[in-house]
């Protein structure tokens, strides 16, 4: 089940679309094996008499089905219906089949993006992504993210591009025409006034390793209009 494109707003581009890492299915698989083994033992040690054995079989079957639905099946459905999406405007986390849960964080509201990986998680390319924002969600932790370092970089890059588009949008608005009796004065550009701040922000992202030197130079040329 792919991420529904109908949820995107006009002119919004889908940049990254990932499911949770397969490591999220390991624990449900282990629990399923334990339930099947326990069910086999229960049937194997059931009494031989017809009535007693039938009661044990029905009881063991009911317990096994309940445990399977309560944990493994529920976790597999959550994995199959879960999407972590980065667009040109926001970060979206959506999951659920019958009861759905959706979270959206605008890129301009994101204050910080961090990730955490243990030794084993680093080996398999999984980890937790921590997003702090000024939205109503505050600090959110997304578990079992594929390649969280790359996702972190993508969010930072799209955040910078989103800010540049916002500045360009202000520049594209026509300036009010001065009265005919007064001489026109040159308009000051908000983008020009913020050029120094944007260059400092890009340099900081480069120093933190979020942007490569090549990406830094490309973004710098865009800001300077080269």
Residue 187, domain member (yes or no): no
Of all residues in the chain, the percent with pLDDT exceeding 90 is 28
Distance (Å) of CA 13 to CA 17, 79, 87, 90: 11, 24, 5, 10
Residue 189 has pLDDT above 70, yes or no: no
Residue 73, domain member (yes or no): yes
State the DSSP code for 165.
Answer: H
Please report the pLDDT score of residue 115 as a whole number.
92
Residue 214, domain member (yes or no): no
Give the mean pLDDT of the chain.
Answer: 80
Total structural domains within the chain: 1
**114: β partners:** 130
Q: How many residues does the chain have?
A: 226
Residue 60, domain member (yes or no): yes
Sorted by sequence, the CB contacts under 8 Å of residue 137 that are 6+ apart come out as 103, 105
Residue 148, domain member (yes or no): no
pLDDT digits (tens, 9 = 90+) for 93-127: 988 777 678 888 899 889 899 999 999 999 999 99
pLDDT digits (tens, 9 = 90+) for 133-177: 887 767 889 999 999 999 999 999 999 888 888 777 644 444 455
Q: pTM of this prediction?
A: 0.62
Please report the pLDDT score of residue 125 as a whole number.
92
Residue 182 has pLDDT above 70, yes or no: no
Q: What are phi and psi of 5, to 5 degrees?
A: -70, -20
Residue 42, domain member (yes or no): yes
pLDDT digits (tens, 9 = 90+) for 37-88: 998 888 887 777 656 677 878 888 899 899 998 888 988 888 888 889 999 9
Please report the pLDDT score of residue 178 as a whole number.
52
> Which stretches within 2-49 are classed as H helix?
26-44
The sign of the torsion formed by the CA atoms of 157, 136, 121, 88 equals negative
The helix (run of H) or strand (run of E) holding residue 60 is helix 50-68
Residue 224, domain member (yes or no): no
Q: What is the residue range of 71's domain? A: 27-78
């Amino acid at each position: 089940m792919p991420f529904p494109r109908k949820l995107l707003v006009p002119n919004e581009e889908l940049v990254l679309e990932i499911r949770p890492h397969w490591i999220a299915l390991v624990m449900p698989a282990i629990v399923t094996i334990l339930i099947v083994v326990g069910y086999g033992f229960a049937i194997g040690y059931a009494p031989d008499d017809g009535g007693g054995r039938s009661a044990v079989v029905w009881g063991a079957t009911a317990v096994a089905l309940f445990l399977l639905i309560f944990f493994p099946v529920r976790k597999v459905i959550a994995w199959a219906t879960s999407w972590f999406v980065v667009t040109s405007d926001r970060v979206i986390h959506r999951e659920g089949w019958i009861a759905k849960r959706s979270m959206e964080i605008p890129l301009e509201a994101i204050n910080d993006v961090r990730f955490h990986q243990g030794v084993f998680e680093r080996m398999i390319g999984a980890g937790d992504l921590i997003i702090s924002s000024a939205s109503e969600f505050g600090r959110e932790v997304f578990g079992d993210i594929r390649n969280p370092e790359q996702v972190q970089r993508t969010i930072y890059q799209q955040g910078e591009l989103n800010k540049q588009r916002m500045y360009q949008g202000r520049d594209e608005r026509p300036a009010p025409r001065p009265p005919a009796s007064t001489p026109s004065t040159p308009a000051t550009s908000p983008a020009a006034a913020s050029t120094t701040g944007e260059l400092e922000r890009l340099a900081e992202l480069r120093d933190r390793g979020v942007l490569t030197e090549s990406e830094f130079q490309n973004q710098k040329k865009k800001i300077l209009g080269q």
